[in-house]
Amino acid sequence: AGGVTRGADGVVTVGGIDVRALAAEFGTPVYVLDENDFRTRCRAWRDAFGPGADVFYAGKAFLSRAVARWVNEEGLNLDVCTGGELVTALAGGMPPERIAYHGNNKSVAELERAVEAGVGRIVVDSFQEIVRVADVAARRGVRQRVLVRVTVGVEAHTHEFIATAHEDQKFGLALSTGEAEEAARRVLKLGSLELVGLHSHIGSQIFDMAGFEVAARRVVGLLRRLREEHGVELPEIDLGGGLGIAYTSDDDPPDPWSVAKALTEIVTHECEAAGLAVPRLSVEPGRAIVGPTAFTLYEVGTVKPLEGLRTYVSVDGGMSDNIRTALYDAEYSVTLASRASDEAPVLCRVVGKHCESGDIVVRDAYLPADLAAGDLLAVPATGAYCRSLASNYNYVPRPPVVAVRDGRARVIVRRETEEDLLRLDID
Ligand code: LLP
């Protein structure tokens, strides 16, 4: 048994397990992750791009030791962006040479750890960082492979906070000002660095391939200039992550095969036109792999109908386990998961237990009029950037992640306890 289905009694099951049983065993709120779905999506991305390309799972979307192990077992590489993600990836058994390390402000200590571990790629993001990585590598007597992160100047059609390729933001080195080329030139001059390629990431939750195509064209343009001006042909291009997923039924995301086809075609075409050997392509999907594989299960507490407005349905979590609605105006759907109801749906807002009015999980939802305390609600597509962005706001312990596979459920990240929270406090 696999996947999420609803029985004739209205009860949702995942991987053959009834959500009521999950709630009884693990408590609520709980992130329920379908491990087979995760693995299937990893394989889909790997198969779609084939052996001539590399797929890096972006760990920022959601990482744990178990996840790092699955990613490794499914033959993907892993993208990390902090020392903490790096440690988790290594603890999960990810071979260091298959890790790429990103970030706009990696500390010297983090760089030392990464170089020491032998990470395969460090993506350099500033002129200062080029010097820092070179120094660290030189001190260790190694030649570190790096990519230069290029700001291609694309306006991705997504929320401002998650768009990253327009010029006025913190990431990368701009193509238009010549800084990206200058960065590549500086890396090439440093003996402790090996410049293997260029990197671009245009943003997140993107549906339209047009932005990626412009990015690919511009990155190849820089490859050509590097050959013409500096006599080097770089062997790799990384086009980043950012592929969108369906949060509601209105969304129609691209599948891995159409993404792979579009990116491979444009890179091949542009390189052939420029007389360049076609470089090895890599991509870094995070959300597209893990996002759809999990849902959050909440228990309903207070139900407050506001005359002439809507019904406020309070659940036992909120913005501490899903900040995305408050932060990005993200849209989610929600469903009554623990029983059937014949009652007409009424307009509701699903809110959390936190002490602010912006604590909204699902802004607009139709739920049965007889919704009551104790009912279980499932909010789908919470696998990406929910647990990883979770906080302890209001001293709320963070929920566990339970992985379901072949009719068995197991905790891969345990629930925080109040003891965990108090452990950090000093009188
Ligand atoms: N590669 C790089 C260099 C990135 O910066 C990111 C995401 C990814 C790959 C993966 O992007 P994805 O495929 O998951 O879209 N917290 C926000 C998303 C922030 C994305 C940051 N970088 C959200 O919840 O929507």
CA distance 273 to 276: 8
Residue 162 beta carbon below 6 angstroms from any ligand 1 atom: yes
Please give the distance, rounded to the nearest whole angstrom, from the Cα atom of residue 285 to the centre of ligand 1. Answer: 8
- Within a domain: residue 284? yes
Q: What is the mean pLDDT of residues 250-258?
A: 93
Q: Is 235 among the domain residues?
A: yes
Shared-domain flag, residues 350 and 401: yes
Of the candidates 296, 409, 425, 420, the residue with the CA atom closest to the CA atom of residue 66: 409
Q: Model confidence over 38-93: pLDDT tens digits?
A: 999 999 999 999 999 999 999 999 999 999 999 999 999 999 999 999 999 999 99
Confidence at residue 34, expressed as pLDDT on a 0 to 100 scale = 97
pTM: 0.97
- Is residue 393 assigned to a domain? yes
Q: Which of 273, 291, 309 is the last residue of a domain?
A: 291
Same domain, yes or no: 249 and 333: no
Residue ending a domain, among 291, 312, 335, is 291
Which protein residue has the closest C-alpha to ligand 1 atom 5?
Answer: 201
Ligand 1 atom 12: the closest Cα is on which residue?
242
Domain boundary pick from 237, 264, 291: 291
Segment 154-177 shows an average pLDDT of 79
Three-class SS string for 225-259? HHHHHHCCCCCEEECCCCECCCCCCCCCCCCHHHH
Q: What is the pLDDT of residue 354?
A: 98
Q: Same domain, yes or no, for 86 and 205?
A: yes
Flag whether 279 is marked binding.
Answer: no
Is the minimum distance from the CB of 253 to ligand 1 under 6 angstroms? no
As a whole number, mean pLDDT of residues 13-39 equals 97
CA 350 to ligand 1 centroid distance, Å: 26
Give the Å distance between the CA of 33 and the centre of ligand 1: 19
Lowest mean pLDDT among 77-81, 102-106, 245-249, 344-348: 245-249
Q: How many angstroms separate the CA atoms of 425 and 230, rounded?
A: 56
Rounded distance between C-alpha atoms, residue 108 and residue 371, angstroms:
53
Q: How many CB atoms lie within 10 A of CB 10?
A: 15
Assigned domain for 347 exists: yes
Does the C-beta of 288 come closer than 6 Å to ligand 1?
Answer: yes
Residue 427 falls within a domain, yes or no?
Answer: no
CATH number where 191 lies: 3.20.20.10
155 pLDDT band (50/70/90 cuts)? confident
163 band by pLDDT with thresholds 50, 70 and 90: low
Residues 318 and 217 in one domain: no
Partners of residue 17 on adjacent β-strands: 14
- Claim to verify: residue 394 and residue 413 sit in the same structural domain: yes
Could you list the residue range(s) of the whole structural domain that residue 161 is in? 35-291
CA-based radius of gyration for the chain: 23
d(CA 149, CA 348): 44
* Strand-pair partners of 347: 366
pLDDT at 162 over 70: no
Q: Domain count of the chain? A: 2
Q: What average pLDDT is seen over the chain?
A: 96
ipTM above 0.90, yes or no: yes
- Considering the domain architecture, whether residues 333 and 269 belong to the same structural domain is answered as no
Answer whether residue 1 shows pLDDT above 80.
Answer: no
The half-sphere exposure of 287 on its side-chain side, counting CA atoms within 13 A, is 22
| For the CA of 288, the nearest atom of ligand 1 | 13
Answer yes or no: is pLDDT of 386 > 50. Answer: yes
Six token digits for residue 220: 């190849």
Report the C-alpha gap between 288 and 259 in whole angstroms: 11
Considering the candidates 42, 81, 271, 355, report the single residue annotated as catalytic.
355
Considering the domain architecture, whether residues 153 and 213 belong to the same structural domain is answered as yes
Neighbour-count burial of 246, counting CB atoms closer than 10 A to its CB (0-12 exposed, 13-18 middle, 19+ buried): middle
137 lines ligand 1 (CB under 6 A): no
Q: Are 302 and 195 in the same domain?
A: no
Backbone angles phi, psi at 313, to 5 degrees: -105, 115
Question: 23 with 53, same domain?
Answer: no
User: Are 61 and 198 within one domain?
Assistant: yes
Secondary structure in 3-state letters for 183-216: HHHHHHHCCCEEEEEEECCCECCECCCHHHHHHH
Specify whether 355 is catalytic.
Answer: yes
Q: Are residues 252 and 320 in the same domain?
A: no
Q: CATH number of the domain at 342, please.
A: 2.40.37.10
Cis previous bond, 345, omega within 30:
no
Same domain, 235 and 367: no
pLDDT at 393 over 80: yes
**What is the arithmetic mean of pLDDT over 152-166?**
72
